[in-house]
Amino acid sequence: MAIPNKPVLDKAFRMIESRRGALLAELQALCRQPSIAAQNVGMAETAEMVRRMMEDAGLKAEIVPTGGHPVVYGELDVGAPRTLLFYNHYDVQPPEPLDEWTHPPFGAEIHDGVLYARGVSDNKGNFAARIQAVRLLREAAGGLPVNVKFLVEGEEEIGSGHLGEFIIANRDRLGADGAVWESGYKDAQGRPGLYFGVKGILYVELRVRGANRDLHSAGAAVIENPAWRLVWLLNTLKGPDERVLLDGFYDDVLPPSEEDLVWARGSTPEEEAARLAGLGIKQYLLGLTGLDLAVKSLFQPTCTICGLTAGYQGEGSKTVLPKVASAKLDFRLVPKQDPQRVLASLRDHLRRQGCGDFEVIVHGAEPAGRTSLNAPIAKVLIETAREAYGVEPSVSPTQAGSGPMHWLVDELGIPTGSIGVGWHRANNHAPDESIRVDDYFENMRHVALLLVRFAEV
Amino acid sequence: MAIPNKPVLDKAFRMIESRRGALLAELQALCRQPSIAAQNVGMAETAEMVRRMMEDAGLKAEIVPTGGHPVVYGELDVGAPRTLLFYNHYDVQPPEPLDEWTHPPFGAEIHDGVLYARGVSDNKGNFAARIQAVRLLREAAGGLPVNVKFLVEGEEEIGSGHLGEFIIANRDRLGADGAVWESGYKDAQGRPGLYFGVKGILYVELRVRGANRDLHSAGAAVIENPAWRLVWLLNTLKGPDERVLLDGFYDDVLPPSEEDLVWARGSTPEEEAARLAGLGIKQYLLGLTGLDLAVKSLFQPTCTICGLTAGYQGEGSKTVLPKVASAKLDFRLVPKQDPQRVLASLRDHLRRQGCGDFEVIVHGAEPAGRTSLNAPIAKVLIETAREAYGVEPSVSPTQAGSGPMHWLVDELGIPTGSIGVGWHRANNHAPDESIRVDDYFENMRHVALLLVRFAEV
């Protein structure tokens, strides 16, 4: 269907403006519905809300069972030559620690133009902006210039354990000429961020047990303390030089390519200083700055303690010898690093350190994913961002975070890029997660523009 | 006042038997009243209950304010030549983790002859058995053969921060010829345990901060992780050989004396095997057995991780870079080791390890305390235990635990020994703390006997 661009887009943009209240209320309703995959809270209810929003936009949508939380899949085939696929997830991170939220995590309150809610930035705001852009453009134009598919999973925050099965089982209907990944963030200078890759991840919990119950700590003179064993083991995984000590961990780590280095620009000293001040820290890790900092962030793997638990953690003192100690660890991996090989190396390492009795619980394993910035979707995303936002976007070959992008890029062969409603104070995975209301509508306009322009490539 | 021993004791014992129900109900009421010093729960209410129990036994009792939780002090001066002082505490450890209790921690339920309650073994059961023994002996005899003093503090579980001030301010009225310390435990063979010393303690919390909020763990590629810094620091405090690495830590540690070694007998292989099986572990630390095990337990200092806290600790995974990490540590110290010197050495160590920014919160500091087994109170305690229990007691020059015994022994110069209502499954400081009801009454008879015999030395 040929659509006269300018008048249709103008009409869609005016509809966005005139319906801000209703559009915002729909987003708030979605955010007020908890959907904590790790704790199995509100998942079915949220999947149904997502399905209804797809239907409201004219898509044929269904809730597809998996071995875990279902996928919500919707599509609208208008017979156009091009198809655009959107990847999102409706699950959110746990809101803990609750007492550190200024506003309730599932209140979706708006203060000074900022909407606070667990998952609003990661990832409900993005899904909502996209599906509403489809709905309004379709309404404005009486149709769409491009076929659209929405794949919204419910397990991204717990490792996308069933996404692969879904994609393999539905390979035939998932074909597309380009895909838009889950999210994107404006930086402190207001530049919208685009990225075309993600790191891989291996998330494990290590758990070691001592006696069969907590004991009085006087007993620690003669009874093994699992907390000490955990500390000693962790110390063998990474030292203060930040180098990961697993055998072969760096064997598959490649230096950044020429294309990587063209796009991975370091920040200015002023930008770095502003960001450090915002974080309340004096310097980045190892004193890195500029391009070195960007390269470390984007193209180097990590090993991070995400959680430590043992013994008494309340106020004051309790003299207890803990019966169990555990650590949650994530490894962020770069292309070619296989999470399964890293896991095998970790198990080997435990054995060699006399920690073969440690329990290893795998909470997620996903390789990295990358799309060339020469792909059509990359070019259109960058050009439309420039047009929609009126500033030069901040383009990155990859981001420091992870996600199951490889399923689209490598399994389905769909070039993929990402942009979204976020900002530099999004606080994803942290208290006071938020987006700016204006960014939400600006991104909605960008998606409408993208739908129109992608039809033309 | 001369008391004909045998008939009076027989009468007192008969009264204990005939009033078991009421005596038990009084103990249960005391245990049902929470008194968690660390969380400031129920302290004033419990102090008042303790005061009333002293008054009921005929003592002149008062609640003495301190800078913290008050001391309850009571005395009965009958003009006897000998005075016996009892030390107890009415505060208890926090009951957490609550979900690991089989019976509610403040329910004081009795199942199969075992009374379950936080604090029943440490230390309310001991206080109750002693004050009831005084009450019943006095009733049976129409008086007491010995003056008694009861010092019951409310801050033992949080480091006895104001006990020293109280003792120094009340030095004149606290004089006694012997003192009975807080507790004692029967072993698995049914032998009542006596001890005549405690280790010292330094309890600190180390806290290190990173960014001013929890961040997405993708940021860990370039932002310092306080959990790693904590692990690296802890690793420099003690290695897998269990040797504490603080400068000068062992300078004041003396080998056990000849008297120590006379009394510190190792357990038999069968006893050790039974205890290991009960704990669900295969061996003691470093494979120690027999006398080596006893020496390590009683005469060697320790450094113990009592708690570790950082980041996400819930179910499943959360990819978070923690903003803060902390460890609760106790050092159990032997005679001559000064907790303040150990603390200074720890602070030095932090500085030298580049951890001068770690916060050090001191939750308790107390030197060790010891009484010679040749002191009259020691001899009478051992002899009366033999008589009351009808078995050879298990005598130890010291215990592996700590307490402010030095205030009595070193500040007031009162030789001090300890025996009590506990058993080998007391679970002090742990879920399902308990005593056996029969042990409670047996100990009450022992205290009655002690009151009579100590008058004769």
What pLDDT does residue B381 have?
98
A19 & A153 share domain: yes
Same domain, B178 and B205: no
Nearest 5°: the CA angle A28, B214, A161 is: 70
Q: Which two tokens stand for residue B264?
A: 């510190």
Report yes or no on A264 lying in a domain. no
Of A214, A325, A328, the CB nearest to B317: A328
Regarding whether A207 and A350 lie in a shared domain, the answer is: yes
- Which pLDDT value is given to residue B1? 45
Q: Are residues B207 and B150 in the same domain?
A: no
Residue A74, strand partner residues? A61, A150
What's phi and psi for A324, nearest 5 deg?
Answer: -150, 150
Residue B119 and residue B17 share a domain: yes
Residues A355-379 have pLDDT tens digits of 999 999 999 899 999 999 999 999 9
pLDDT digits (tens, 9 = 90+) for A307-349: 999 999 988 888 999 999 999 999 999 999 999 999 999 999 9
Given a cut of 80, whether residue A260 has pLDDT beyond it is yes
Calpha distance A94→A130 (Å, rounded): 24
**pLDDT for the residue numbered A92:** 97
pLDDT beyond 60 at B308: yes
Q: Mean pLDDT, to the nearest integer, of B203-218?
A: 96
- What is the C-alpha to C-alpha distance for residues B162 and B68, in angstroms, rounded to an integer? 7
Q: How far is B433 from chain A (nearest CA, A)?
A: 10
Decide if A158 and B316 are in contact by the 8 Å CB cutoff: yes
Whether residue A431 sits in one domain with residue A346: no
**Over the stretch B273-299, which tens digit does the pLDDT of each residue have?**
999 999 999 999 999 999 999 999 999
Whether B29 has a pLDDT exceeding 80, the answer reads yes
Of the ranges A89-98, A222-231, B133-142, B259-268, which one carries the lowest mean pLDDT score?
Answer: B259-268
Nearest to A280 among B94, B212, B364 (CB): B212
The pLDDT value given to residue A1: 45
The values of phi and psi at residue A326, to 5°, are -145, 155
- Per-residue pLDDT, averaged over B46-56, amounts to 98
Q: Which of these, B180, B189, B198, lies nearest to B384 by C-alpha position?
A: B180
Q: Answer whether residue B263 shows pLDDT above 90.
A: no
What mean pLDDT value characterizes chain B?
95
Contact criterion met (CB < 8 Å) for A231 and B231:
yes
Domain boundary among A348, A366, A384: A366
Nearest CA in chain A to B364: A317
Tell me the mean pLDDT in the region B46-63.
98
Q: Determine contact: A357 vs chain B, CB below 8 A.
A: no
Domain boundary among A322, A347, A366: A366
Do A317 and B363 make contact, defined as CB atoms within 8 angstroms? yes
Non-local CB neighbours of B27 within 8 Å, separated by 6+ positions? B108, B115, B120, B124, B125, B128, B440
> pLDDT grade, residue A420 (50/70/90)?
very high
**pLDDT band with cut points at 50, 70 and 90 for residue B370:** very high
Task: Note whether B257 contacts A: Cβ–Cβ < 8 A.
Answer: no
Q: Where are the alpha helices (DSSP H) in A280-375?
A: 290-299, 339-352
Tell me whether residue A62 is in a domain: yes
Q: Are B305 and A212 inside 8 Å of each other by CB?
A: no
Mean pLDDT, rounded, for A228-251: 97
pLDDT for A4 equals 62
B267, part of any domain: no
Say if B230 falls within a structural domain. Answer: yes
Q: Are residues A358 and A246 in the same domain?
A: yes
Per-residue pLDDT tens for A383-405?
999 999 999 999 999 999 898 99
For A383, the domain range is: 5-198+369-454
Query: Could you report the per-residue pLDDT of B109-148, keeping only the tens digit for each?
Result: 999 999 999 999 999 999 999 999 999 999 999 999 999 9
Residue of B118, B206, B242, B306 best to disrupt the A interface, most CBs of A under 10 A: B306
Residue-wise burial string across B11-24, b where 16 or more C-beta atoms lie within 10 A, e elsewhere: ebbebbeeeeeebb
Residues B420, B346 within the same domain: no
Report CB contact under 8 Å: B430, A311.
no
Test A97 with B224 for CB contact under 8 angstroms: no
Supply the pLDDT for residue B3. 55
User: Does B280 map to a domain?
Assistant: no
Q: What average pLDDT does range A294-308 have in this prediction?
A: 96
Residues A28 and A146 grouped into a single domain: yes
Return residues 392-421 of B near A (CB < 8 Å): 399-402
pLDDT computed for residue B448 by the predictor: 97
**Torsion over CA: B427, B428, B431, B432 (sign):** positive
Average pLDDT over residues A79-105: 96
Domain closes at, from A336, A366, A396:
A366
A238 within domain boundaries? yes
The residue of chain B nearest to residue A222, with distances taken between CA atoms, is B285
Domain count, chain A: 2
Q: What is the pLDDT of residues B416-452, one digit of tens each?
A: 999 999 999 999 988 999 999 999 999 999 999 999 9
CA A312 to chain centre: 33
With respect to residue B292, please indicate whether it lies within any of the assigned structural domains: no
Integer Cα distance of B358 and A259 in angstroms: 42
Closest chain A CA to residue B318: A93
Beta strand extents in A37-101 (DSSP E only): 60-64, 71-76, 83-89
CATH value at residue B360: 3.30.70.360
Q: Which of A62-76, A232-246, B117-131, B392-406 has the lowest mean pLDDT?
A: B392-406
- Cβ–Cβ of A293/B159 closer than 8 Å? no
Task: Report the run of H or E that residue A406 belongs to, with start and end.
Answer: helix A405-406
Q: Which residues in chain B (78-97) have CB-CB distances under 8 A to chain A?
A: 93-94, 96-97
Please indicate, yes or no, whether residues B207 and B244 belong to a single structural domain of this protein: yes
Asked whether residue B162 falls in the same domain as residue B187, the answer is: yes
- CATH number at B18 reads 3.40.630.10
Instruction: Note the pLDDT of residue B67.
Output: 94
In this prediction the pTM is: 0.86
pLDDT tens digits for A156-206?
Answer: 988 888 999 999 999 999 999 999 999 999 998 899 999 999 999 999 999
Are the beta carbons of A402 and A369 closer than 8 angstroms?
no
Q: With a CB-CB cutoff of 8 Å, which residues 197-256 of chain A face chain B? A: 199, 201, 203, 205, 210-225, 227-232, 234-235, 238-240
Chain B residues whose CB is inside 8 A of the A315 CB are 38-39
Chains A and B: how many Cβ contacts under 8 Å? Answer: 301
Whether residue B318 is found in the same domain as residue B357? yes
Indicate whether A259 belongs to any domain.
Answer: no
**Sorting pLDDT into bands at 50, 70 and 90, what band is A3?**
low
